[in-house]
Chain A
Amino acid sequence: MVKSIVIAGVGGQGTLFASKIISCAAQSKGYFVRTSETIGMAQRGGSVCGHIRIDSEELAPVIPSGHADMLIAFELAEAARQILKLAHGAQCVVNIDTIIPTNVALKKGKYLADEYLKALKSYFPNGVFISGGKLALEAGDARTLNIVLLGASVGAGALPFTEEEILEAIKSCLKPKLVEMNVKAFNLGMQEAKKLRNSNS
């Protein structure tokens, strides 16, 4: 079973909330859950990364290098940054849309988008790579990207939870007025991953 999940992104993309939903789903199934989050200064547009460990009473909150079973990444370079955190044969669901860091825009660094995607595809031949931003907008708000990716993770069969279990967790963690839009985002992500899986098989 997938036990150790890394969620990576850029501060402000909603990684914390995605982590909360997965934890909530795991807790509902009776598992002991540990998580570790980036909170504080890095949240202001910096690299952020959350760890979730399921059935983990005897484990540490931080996943050791090479020990993660799954990566959910909200941004291309942030996905590539986590490659060595993952075990061989791990699954990944990646939003390939890019957010160019300000220092790259200021020519103080390089953003090698093609190389990141190439590296990810070579490490994770069965990885799910989607362009999530437009799906989030289609759902009604760019900020639903986190839920799109959760949907894609379920659609790819990469999470140890069913569609109903994650939807239940989403509903229990959100204000009622936001549920409809987020369910739409979830479904769009799920369909996208299923579509990709069918076209690959």
Chain B
Amino acid sequence: MSKRICMGNEAIALGAIAAGVKVVTGYPGTPSTEIIETFVHEKNPNVNVQWSTNEKVALEVAAGAAYAGARAMVTMKQVGLNVASDPLMCLSYIGVEGGLVVAVADDPGPWSSQTEQDTRSFARHANLPVFDPSSPEEAYEMVQEAFNLSEEFKLPVILRPTTRVCHASATVRLKDDVKQITTLGFEKRPEWCIFPSLSYVKHGELEIKQNTLSNKFDTSIFNKIFKGSRKGIAVSGVSYLYLKEVIKEFNLDVSIFKIGTPYPLPAGLAEKFVSTVDSILVIEELDPIVEEQLLILAAGRIPIFGKNTDDTPYNGEFSFEVIKKALFGYLGIENKEEPKEELPQMPMRPPVLCGGCPHRASFYAAKIATKDFKKPIYCGDIGCYTLGNAAPLNMVDTCLCMGAGITVAQGLALAEPGTKCLAFIGDSTFFHTGIPGVINAVYNNTDITIVVLDNRTTAMTGCQPHPGTGKTAMGEPAKALDIEAILRACGVEEIYTVNPFDYSESVEVFKKAVSFNGPSAVIAKAPCITLIKMPPTVHRVNESCIGCLNCINELGCPAMTPNEKGFVVINESTCTDCGLCANVCPVDAIQRGERNG
């Protein structure tokens, strides 16, 4: 036993290693990314780790490993499970041999996501058991139990940490020994092939398993009743820690039903709780999973408060304050809000494209190249470049989900013929779900311009490699897939590859591509600034600056600010010397020079 401060995601990876996991797959996505990154750092020779092209691929690879009896884990963020939902739904029928843990990180808030969907709802939809850790130390224990449960029930098991578990750290007691698992290898059986007649049988079995799972969870160490007054509280996930802190601070007397397995609800334990309290307030982030199961189980015997009574919100993350308010309301305690003290107005500070980001150069060149077209539409996608929607670039008119820029652009072009639609997509996203959209545009000969913003990495999630980078997750050399060759193989004939920092060339290329009637593509290729070494030179504003602020107003580079006199100053510790600003200065006041700081 040793103690280590682990981020929740790290604890999940270390728990899986302790459980003898052999194959780990996933696609990066906040807040799940550090699970696989931990495997990369740990370099455990018994674990085969990969970044997969997308979550569907990742789940299927992990499933194959589990078919052969290996313990496998797949990681993704909540919206990744939408991509992986096809294999997930079928896997609940087909089942597994080795333990398969599907670690899906939810993002109440949301902090870094398109939706606030609740993976526990997915678990219920797929008839799969789900663990909902309240802390990194519990996640460490749960992932190990999830493997055992998966093998016992021959089902994938979902582990659903949330941002405040994934990106929280805690002192975790780590086991010294690793469970030894022998992989027996794939055994050929007719049940591995899904057919309607088999599905009918498997569906029946799956429904029966829901009851046996519920019974099994009655004795799980992750589900506990803490007896107090006849005022009951049922709580799941990180809310348990907020609740404990509120109770401790205000010395409240309540009974607590702490639930670590929200689906299927441990019905026996829940029945015991229902019979010993007069009412229950349910505290869980996002969907009312525990709440709805308790409502059914209690069947009107006692009142169940929560989302159905507007006592807790559906959206946003919970906190000490949210739970205090709900709890005080429930217990009839006056919630005295301290008078808000007057503070000066704070500036908004939303995230922005970094100083020197090649996406800024690409967006700006595309903007200039299309300025004479009537209403060009700029479809965006998921990644750092979504930030191109902010002023002053205003270059992301739509953003839906991974890969949707290329396809939404086609729909727009069909609805408004003659409208020039540009679809911006990052390199990693291109591999993830971009390619089928390209094929669709070519097949249906739709006039769009695909812009691949190839910065040689998966930047937003912290620079993971992808199929175009020539590196595997473990840093081993891999075949680097050529995006231009893929586009060509998909049938795109009008393709230009350009360095976006070559401003005039980029503008020319965008003009040509957009003018082409039919599917065309521009690959804007320059590495993410986090991959480059800062050059010894910078761009600097000299005394000829007239204070017109054209550079800031056109580009919005965070390395540039006006000084007290109204002239522009470039921060020399963040300027990458990209030189884009020099192209927009009307008086040539921005010049290259030696770096000072």
- Taking Cβ atoms with an 8 Å cutoff, the residues of A that contact B are 10-12, 23-24, 27, 31-47, 57-62, 64-67, 77-78, 80-81, 83-84, 100-106, 108-112, 115-116, 118-119, 137, 142-143
Is A38 touching B558 in the complex (CB atoms < 8 A)?
no
Given A40-B112, A60-B238, check contact A77 B349 (CB 8 Å).
yes
A60-B238, A60-B242, A106-B556 given; A32·B171 CB < 8 A: yes
Q: Kindly state the separation between the CA atoms of A122 and B280 in the bound complex, as whole angstroms.
A: 44
11 pairs, A vs B, C-beta closer than 8 Å: A36-B169, A39-B112, A40-B30, A42-B112, A44-B351, A46-B350, A62-B320, A77-B347, A77-B349, A103-B348, A143-B573
A27 to chain B: which residues have CB within 8 Å?
3-5, 171
Asked if residues A35 and B168 are in contact (CB atoms below 8 Å), the reply is yes
**Size range of the interface on B?**
35 or more
Q: Report the separation of the CA atoms of residues A83 and B343 in the bound assembly, to the nearest whole angstrom.
A: 9
| Binary contact readout B344-386 vs A (1 if CB under 8 angstroms, 0 otherwise) | 1111111111100000000000000000000000000000100
Chain B residues positioned under 8 Å from A104 (CB to CB): 347
Contacting residues, chain A, for B241 (C-beta < 8 A): 59-61
- Cβ of B321 within 8 Å of any chain A Cβ, yes or no, is yes
Q: Please, which residues of chain A bring their CB within 8 A of the CB of B347?
A: 77, 101, 103-104, 109-111
Query: Are A39 and B30 in touch, CB under 8 angstroms?
Result: yes
The one of A12, A66, A106, A109 in contact with B552, judged by C-beta atoms closer than 8 angstroms, is A106
Does the CB pair B345–A33 fall under 8 Å? no
- Shortest distance between the CB of A69 and any CB in chain B (Å): 15
A42-B354 contact given A33-B170, A81-B346, CB 8 Å threshold: no
**CB-CB nearest 5 A-B residue pairs:** A40-B112, A64-B320, A40-B30, A142-B573, A61-B168
Known: A32-B171, A106-B556, A109-B348. A44 touches B5 (CB 8 A): no
New A-B contacts (17) at CB < 8 Å, excluding given A32-B171, A84-B340:
A12-B354, A27-B171, A34-B135, A34-B170, A35-B169, A39-B31, A60-B245, A61-B135, A61-B238, A104-B347, A105-B549, A105-B560, A106-B392, A106-B556, A118-B344, A119-B344, A142-B597
Whether the pair B552, A105 counts as a contact (CB closer than 8 A) is yes
Which B residue sits closest to A75, measured CB to CB?
B349
- Determine which of A40, A61, A106 lies in contact with B170 in the assembled complex, contact meaning CB atoms within 8 Å: A61
Known A35-B168, A39-B167, A83-B343; contact A60-B552, beta-carbon cutoff 8 A: no
Tell me the minimal C-beta distance from A12 to chain B in angstroms.
8
B89 to chain A minimum Cβ distance, whole angstroms, is 28
B235 on the A face (CB < 8 A): no
**Nearest B residue (CB) for A10:** B349
Q: How far is the CA of A110 from the CA of B392 in the complex (A)?
A: 17
| Binary contact readout B546-561 vs A (1 if CB under 8 angstroms, 0 otherwise) | 0001001100111011
B164 and A62 contact, CB distance less than 8 A: yes
Which of A23, A65, A78, A105 contacts B169, CB < 8 Å? A23
Known contacts A27-B5, A32-B171, A36-B168: does B560 contact A64 (CB below 8 Å)?
no
If over half of B's interface residues share one DSSP class (helix, strand or loop), that class is named, otherwise mixed; here it is loop
A60 to B320, CA, bound (A): 8
**Interface 1/0s, chain B 92-121, versus A by CB < 8 A?**
000000000000000000011000000000
Contact (Cβ within 8 A) B344 A80: yes
Beta-carbon nearest neighbor of A109 in chain B: B347
Instruction: Given the known inter-chain contacts A39-B31, A105-B562, A108-B391, please indicate yes or no for A115 contacting B344, CB distance below 8 A.
Output: yes
Complex CA distance for A31 and B170, rounded to whole angstroms = 10
Q: Tell whether B319 is near chain A: CB-to-CB under 8 Å.
A: yes
Q: How far is the CA of A118 from the CA of B248 in the complex (A)?
A: 35
Return B539 CB to nearest CB of chain A, in Å: 16
CB distance from A180 to the nearest CB of B (A): 19
Q: In whole angstroms, how far apart are the Cα atoms of A100 and B558 in the complex?
A: 8
Interface contact A33-B352, CB-CB below 8 Å: no
Residue B460 at the A interface, CB < 8 A?
Answer: yes
CB distance from B582 to the nearest CB of A (A): 18
Q: Are A33 and B556 in contact (CB under 8 A)?
A: no
When chains A and B are docked, how far (Å) is the Cα of A101 from the Cα of B387?
14
| Bound-complex Cα distance A35 to B168 (A) | 5
Residue of A12, A24, A60, A66 with highest tally of chain B CB at under 10 A: A60
Q: Tell me whether B245 and A59 are in contact (CB under 8 A).
A: yes
Q: Which residues of A contact B310 (CB under 8 A)?
A: none
**B543 CB-CB contact with A under 8 Å:** no
Q: What's the nearest-Cβ distance from chain A to residue B571, in Å?
A: 8
Distance in angstroms from B29 CB to nearest chain A CB is 9
**Cα A80 to Cα B344 with chains together (Å):** 8
Find the A residue at minimum CB distance from B247.
Answer: A58
| A45 engages B558 (CB within 8 Å) | yes
Give the contacting residue for B5; candidates A10, A24, A43, A109; CB below 8 A: A24
B338 near A: Cβ within 8 Å?
yes
Given the interface pairs A23-B5, A36-B168, A64-B319, the reply to whether A41 lies near B245 with Cβ below 8 Å is no
In the complex, what's the smallest C-beta–C-beta distance from A62 to chain B, in angstroms? 6
The proximity string for B residues 456-472 relative to A, scoring 1 for CB distances below 8 Å and 0 otherwise, is 00001100000000000
Beta-carbon nearest neighbor of B391 in chain A: A106
A34 with B168, Cβ < 8 A, contacts A59-B245, A80-B346, A84-B341 known? yes
B216 proximal to A (CB < 8 A)? no
Residues of B within 8 A of A33 (CB): 5, 169-171
Set of chain A residues within 8 Å of B320, measured between Cβ atoms:
60, 62, 64-65, 67
Contacts A64-B321, A102-B558, A105-B552; is A116 near B111 (CB within 8 Å)? no
Whole-angstrom distance from the CB of A51 to the nearest CB of chain B? 9
Whether the pair A103, B350 counts as a contact (CB closer than 8 A) is yes
- Per the bound structure, the CA–CA distance linking A109 and B558 in Å amounts to 15
Asked if A102 and B352 sit within 8 Å, CB to CB, the answer is yes
Q: Which residues of A contact B553 (CB under 8 A)?
A: 106
Please give me the residue from chain B that is nearest to A46 by CB atom.
Answer: B351
Q: How far is the CA of A27 from the CA of B460 in the complex (A)?
A: 30
Q: Say yes or no for B244: interface residue by CB 8 A criterion.
A: yes
Residues of B within 8 A of A40 (CB): 30-31, 111-112, 460-461
Q: How far is the CA of A106 from the CA of B554 in the complex (A)?
A: 9
Query: Which A residues touch B135, using CB under 8 A?
Result: 34, 61
Q: In whole angstroms, how far apart are the Cα atoms of A42 and B387 in the complex? A: 11
A103 — which chain B residues lie within 8 A by C-beta? 347-350, 390-391
- Knowing A105-B552, A106-B392, the reply to whether A36 touches B164 (Cβ < 8 A) is yes
Q: Let me know if A58 and B244 touch, CB within 8 A.
A: yes
